Amino acid sequence: MSSEAFTTAMFLIAAIIAAGVLINAVFPVIYTLAGTISSSSHTVDERLSNDVKIVTTYASGDEARIWLKNVGTARISPSDIGKADVFLGAPGNFTRLGLVVPPSTPGSNQWTYEILEDTQKNNYWDPGETLYIQGHSDRIPGPGEVVYVQFVLSTGLSRSTTFTAGT
């Protein structure tokens, strides 16, 4: 009888130790995974809520005009717009433009912007509002030739299009 009790006690002690080792090994991994999943879901939510669409474009001479609509559910701050990249020129021969603080007029290879119909008067690019971009580049091709433009937000959201330059 005592050998049975001793064996049972040994198995019970071994099971408790094994459970402790398993918990100490698995818990940090679960904790790390929870943080990773939370971070990933925040990034996905941010990308889904930020969306823009190029409405129309026009280019003539060294000037291009681009209208973009915020079709997402989140507003875009002026600092995020200021960190955006604008590429302009002929396909395969374009350049990144430098931002000129609005309402200044852009010089060569520079761009500026204006939020049209800022309904909330908050200087944020709210959902449904249009962002007007005026860019100047020496790489815009002549009339009837193809122009390439790309707008990239700091979140990684990128929109590009090609269109024909006007006269």
Same domain? 65 vs 140:
yes
Token pair 């912007």 in the structure block, residue: 113
CATH code, 135: 2.60.40
The pLDDT, as a whole number, for residue 107 is 87
Per residue in 115-143, pLDDT (tens digit) is: 998 777 888 999 999 999 999 999 999 99
Q: Which of 30, 49, 68 is the last residue in one of the domains?
A: 49
Nearest-5° Cα angle at 125, 123 to 126: 110
- Taking 50 as the pLDDT cut, the residues of the chain under it are none
Spatial separation of the C-alpha atoms in residues 85 and 93, rounded to whole Å: 16
Q: Which of 13, 30, 49 is the last residue in one of the domains?
A: 49
Does the model's pTM come out above 0.85? no
Residues of the domain holding 22: 1-49
The pLDDT, as a whole number, for residue 30 is 74
Per residue in 36-51, pLDDT (tens digit) is: 766 666 666 666 678 9
